[in-house]
Every structure is written in structure tokens, then in C-alpha cells.
Amino acid sequence: MNRIRTVVLRYLPAELLALVGTFVGWWLGTRWTQSPWLIAGVVTVAENVAFYAYLAVSVWREQTPQNPNLLRRLQRTVLLLGAEFGPAEIVDSLLVRPAFMTAAIMWLHSTGWGVLLGSYAADAVFWTLAGASYLATVKFGWRHRRVELVRATHPAQAPSDLSPNDFLARPAVAKTLALQGTPVLFLEPDTVERRYGDLRRALPYADLHYAVKANPHGAIIDTLLHCGASFEVASVHELDTLLDRHVDVSRVIYTHPVKSPADIRYAVGCGVRTFVVDTRGEVDKLAKYDVGVLVRLAVDSSAAQIDLSAKFGASRQLTRDLVLAAHAAGLTVEGLSFHVGSQQCDVAAYASAVNTALALIDELSGRVPMTTLDIGGGFPVAYDRPVPSIEAIAAAITPLLAPYLDRLRVIAEPGRFLAADAMTLVCSVVGCAERDERPWYYLDDGVHGSYSNVLQEGLRPPILPPVWGSQASSVLAGPTCDSIDVVADGIMLPPLEPGDRVVSPTMGAYTAVTANGFNGIAATPIVTLPAVRHLNAVRPSATPGDGRRPQRAVGQRAAQRAAEPST
């Protein structure tokens, strides 16, 4: 039914104009000749002129946002019209329509009524063929905005050039290590602020919602509050973290597509008003509340370090259905969202996802006007190799988004991009061994701790020893009894001894937050290094009784949620 509705809505205005053209052609034809064949030919030409004039303008307008070049826009308009109507037009104009009109005129012995009946009979055949061609062009992606990467000279983002000796010599670092030893994660809020500025300059039109999951440390939240950022959460626990930092809940969106009824109730009670859905079940859960939804579209994220569309996101057809279902259920359908995958280094993936989402927004605009596009996160960080800069990514997607910015709010969800460079890990060698003629060095932190990104994400964080010497292929292992607790295998290192320290920059995202405490080893402490200014002085304060969250003690939240019914 959705396909039939799509075809009818596309062709009905053109058919009404074609009907006018039919009568104009009949009036002109009967003035010039009495031959049924000639009259049918004149009517066919007039009808086609009216029909294609409307559709040519429609396709031309569809191509305007992505093809500002006049000649290229004209070429693509002609190609799309040909793909959609070429097969149907050949069959219709050369065979079906003249034959049907001639037969109808001879059968009814009336030129006017014969032309009208023959035209309608031919339309049925034409609609069937053209509709099938149109749906085929949609299915195969021909109508989507073509991804044309802007190959501007944006240098790649290079891995950290941090000097381990210089870092260890910093007074605050040296003092901390002297007092408490290792391992320690050093957090620098100024780096978060700098990265936020980089992203703000690259995407000045986007509302930046920090992905709290990447690193929920209070100093990062406070820094981003100072910068004017908003936030996105994937659980009520992350929401509680923001509320504890006095974040205005109007700046929070809940992006996990699957939520328990109790968590939805709690988040709505706290004031959250935007949720992400990707199934009909989630639409039904939210239907009782006065909230808005973003429907999450599955996009190609196969080139990302972590493919997030394998677990979440709806197909194009399901996305259409969910938009209509949510609208029918009384929810405010704010728009669409997608995520290209974590640590996405393929610039084309961002542009392709934007194209697909904008095409759906355009397609559904006549029934459910949408005002928001959430482009997610995934912006990469340089660990052991260069990655595309945020400027290169912005150059690929900004031209596609620009024509929509007067009517479409754009949201981005940076997490890793803002937090990763803000933390540096310092750990120590606690043991040495030689196995299979290779040196093994055992550290006091590992893949069950701060190096969890090695195990969870398959990353290779930088590992910088502050000593020099001839290098050999080595193994760095963590402190647990687990044989998979290997931080790096085959890393080139100089000879190390117990007590030597190892420095790892770019450790601020998905490290401490995904540590699991295996063997009872305590989480690595996080020490905030002095910032340029005291950010706490500018943190907004909550007004008592402002309705931002239910009034209950922090320690009671989890217990109360657990006690609430699940339906």
C-alpha cells in the first residue's frame, strides 16, 4: 500500500495537468482534421507536454540542492526522467495510447469520448510501467543525492607527537606520580575545550551533543557546559550523571533505541523530551508520552572500527513505516538520525548517510514534515595512524546540508572526538620475561583496565617508553592472570626494566569507562591536571524544585527504578 500511495502522490498532479492537455489537444485536433489517427497524435503530444512539464520541474527541484551547477543539474534531470519514463513512454506513445484511442473512437463513434476513454485505458498501462521504473530507481539508489567528495586540501589528523619525557617532567604529573605511583590517567580539560572549538568551527551549523558514554568524568561535563555544549545519553545512569552536574535537561537527548518502560518513565519525569526509536515496539512504548522522536536509519558503517548499524537502525522501508506510525500515534516526529559507526575513517560514508537521510526526509515531507537530522558521531581520532580531519569530513557533508539549514536542525553526537586526546595514561613495568626469544614486559594496567579499548574496539593506542636504545619486537602484557590480557604484540621497544614508565596519550575515550575490574584490580585513578581557568565558577546551578528530575536521593534511584513495574 505504501508503494501505491507513493506512486499516486507522485503522478496525480501531473495527471491532472495532462487531462487539461488532453482536452486542449482534442480541441485543436478537431479543428485541423477529421482523421482519428491525427487527432489521437495531437492529443498525445499535448498531453505529454503538460505531463512532462510538471514532472521536469519536480525533478529539477529535487536536483537543485546537490547540483548547484546549471549544466550538471540539467543533465541529471534529463537522465532521471529518462530512467523513470523512458520504457513506459516508448511502449505507451508508440503503441498503447494511439491504439487505445483509435479503438475507443471507432467503438463509441465519438471522437471526444473515445479520446477520453482511450486515454484513461492507456494511463493504466503507463502508470504501471512508470511506477515500476520509479520504484526501481529508488531501490537502486539512483535518485539519492550522489556522493561527490569535496577533495579540498585538508591535512590528515596525525597521531600524538607527545614527548613522554616532557610529559613526565611536568610538575603536576611528577608530583602525582611521586605521591601515588602508577597507573594514573591524567585528564586535561583544556584539551576538551580545544577539540570542541575545532568541531564548532568545522560544523558551525550543528548542535553538538556530547556522547556521555565516551567519558562521563565530571571535569569533562563541566568543561563542555562552559563551552555551551548539549549532551546525549544512552541510559538513565548517564542521565543521572548529567543531573548531578546540574545540566539543564532541555539540553539532553536520549539516543539509545531500546529502553525499558521504567527508564522511559524516569527520563520523561526528569524532563527529557527527545528519544530515538528504530522499532515499532519503541514507538508504542513512547506513544503515551508527550515527547518527540528521531527515527534511527541504518546506514553503511562497514568501514568503521565498530559497525553500529548491525545492532541498531531501521531499513529505509522500515524507517518510512516508523515515521508514519509514530506520527499516527500522536508523537512528534522531529526527524531522522543515523550513526556511521565508531572511529569511521571513510569520508564517503558520512556523505552517503547524509544523502540517504535527506532523500527520505524529502520523500516524506508531504505527509510528515521533519525539522531535525541527527548525523550521530563516529568522528575519528588518530591513535597509531593518521585519520581524516574533521575539516575533511565537514567539506564532504556541508554542501549537502547547506540547502536545508533554513528548515532543518542538524545535531551531531561527538564523543571520542572530544574526549580521546584529553587523557594520558602513565603506567609502569612490573615484570619482565623472555618467551620464544622475545621480551615480554608486564604492566600495572591492561586490557581489563584502561587499555580496554584494545580488547573492546581492537584499537592500538600509542605506547611511548621514555627510554632509548636498540629496539626489538616485544610484547606488552597487562597485570591480570588472563592470557588475553595483552596490550600490544609485536611492538618495537627498547629494553625495559621493572620500574620503567610507559606513557600512552589519546586515552580519554572508552578506556576507564569500559574497564571491568577483573581479578579485583582497582580502576585506574583519574587525576585532573590544572586548567587555564577554574571552570566550576561558570557552571550553572540548578534551581530547587524546578521539575528537572523526580525528588529523590541519588542513592535511591537505581533501587526505585528496579522496583517500578516493567510494563
3-class secondary-structure state, position 16: helix
| Per-residue pLDDT at 518 exceeds 70 | yes
Average pLDDT value over all residues in the chain? 85
For cell 570542541, the residue is 196
Q: Which amino acid type is present at position 96? A: V
Query: What's the pTM?
Result: 0.71
| Per-residue pLDDT at 290 exceeds 60 | yes
Q: Which amino acid type is present at position 57? A: V
Choose the catalytic residue: 227, 345, 427, 481: 481
Q: Which residues are CB-neighbours of 406 under 8 A, at least 6 positions away?
A: none
pLDDT for position 47: 75
Query: Picking from 56-60, 76-80, 434-438, 563-567, which range would have the lowest pLDDT averaged per residue?
Result: 563-567
Residue 297, in any domain of the structure:
yes
| Per-residue pLDDT at 398 exceeds 70 | yes
pLDDT for position 423: 98
How confident is the model over 207-220, as a mean pLDDT?
98
* Same-domain pairing of 520 and 554: no
pLDDT for position 63: 54
Domain at 298, CATH number: 3.20.20.10
Instruction: Express each pLDDT in 435-463 by its tens digit.
Output: 999 999 999 999 999 999 998 888 899 99
Residue 111, in any domain of the structure:
yes
* Same-domain pairing of 409 and 429: no
pLDDT for position 157: 67
Q: In terms of Cα–Cα distance, which of 295, 291, 276 is closest to 361?
A: 295
| Per-residue pLDDT at 24 exceeds 70 | yes
Q: Are 19 and 94 in contact (CB under 8 A)?
A: no
| Per-residue pLDDT at 296 exceeds 60 | yes
Residue 441's domain comprises: 421-528
* Same-domain pairing of 315 and 296: yes
* Same-domain pairing of 345 and 202: yes
| Per-residue pLDDT at 267 exceeds 60 | yes
| Per-residue pLDDT at 32 exceeds 60 | yes
* Same-domain pairing of 375 and 451: no
Query: Picking from 10-24, 54-68, 115-129, which range would have the lowest pLDDT averaged per residue?
Result: 54-68
pLDDT tier for residue 304 given thresholds of 50, 70 and 90: confident
Residue 468, in any domain of the structure:
yes
pLDDT for position 135: 66
* Same-domain pairing of 35 and 101: yes
**How far apart are the C-alpha atoms of 304 and 315, rounded to whole Å?**
19
pLDDT tier for residue 150 given thresholds of 50, 70 and 90: very low
| Per-residue pLDDT at 544 exceeds 60 | no
* Same-domain pairing of 112 and 222: no
| Per-residue pLDDT at 538 exceeds 90 | no
Percent of the chain residues past pLDDT 90, beyond the cut: 60
How confident is the model over 396-421, as a mean pLDDT?
96
| Per-residue pLDDT at 152 exceeds 80 | no
| Per-residue pLDDT at 552 exceeds 60 | no
pLDDT for position 72: 62
Question: SS3 helix, strand, coil % of the chain, rounded to 5?
Answer: 50, 15, 35
Residue 502, in any domain of the structure:
yes
pLDDT tier for residue 138 given thresholds of 50, 70 and 90: low
pLDDT tier for residue 39 given thresholds of 50, 70 and 90: confident
Residue 400, in any domain of the structure:
yes
Q: Which amino acid type is present at position 10? A: R
* Same-domain pairing of 245 and 264: yes
The residue among 475 and 44 whose pLDDT is bigger is 475
User: Angle at CA 145, nearest 5°, toward 11 and 70?
Assistant: 85
Query: Picking from 78-92, 159-173, 234-248, which range would have the lowest pLDDT averaged per residue?
Result: 78-92
- 166: its cell numbers: 616532557
Instruction: Express each pLDDT in 66-122 by its tens digit.
Output: 444 566 667 777 777 777 778 877 887 788 888 888 888 888 888 777 777 877 788
* Same-domain pairing of 408 and 447: no
Residue 375, in any domain of the structure:
yes
| 279: DSSP letter | S
Query: Picking from 60-64, 314-318, 336-340, which range would have the lowest pLDDT averaged per residue?
Result: 60-64
Q: Pairing relation of β-strands 292-296 and 274-277?
A: parallel
pLDDT for position 265: 98
**How far apart are the C-alpha atoms of 565 and 109, rounded to whole Å?**
75
Residue 174, in any domain of the structure:
no
The residue among 487 and 78 whose pLDDT is bigger is 487
Q: Pairing relation of β-strands 472-477 and 332-337?
A: unpaired
Query: Picking from 60-74, 284-298, 302-316, which range would have the lowest pLDDT averaged per residue?
Result: 60-74
| Per-residue pLDDT at 5 exceeds 70 | no
Which class for 201: exposed (0-12), middle (13-18), buried (19 or more C-beta within 10 A)? exposed
How confident is the model over 352-358, as a mean pLDDT?
96
Domain ends where: 139, 155, 170? 139
Backbone angles phi, psi at 292, to 5 degrees: -105, 155
Q: Which residues are CB-neighbours of 78 under 8 A, at least 6 positions away?
A: none
Q: How many domains does the chain have?
A: 3
How confident is the model over 301-323, as a mean pLDDT?
88
**How far apart are the C-alpha atoms of 227 and 231, rounded to whole Å?**
12
* Same-domain pairing of 244 and 281: yes
Query: Picking from 43-57, 195-209, 347-361, which range would have the lowest pLDDT averaged per residue?
Result: 43-57
Residue 149, in any domain of the structure:
no
Domain ends where: 75, 109, 139? 139
481: annotated active-site residue:
yes
* Same-domain pairing of 362 and 215: yes
Cα separations (Å) of 510 from 189, 217, 453, 503? Answer: 17, 12, 6, 17
* Same-domain pairing of 449 and 558: no
How confident is the model over 513-538, as a mean pLDDT?
78
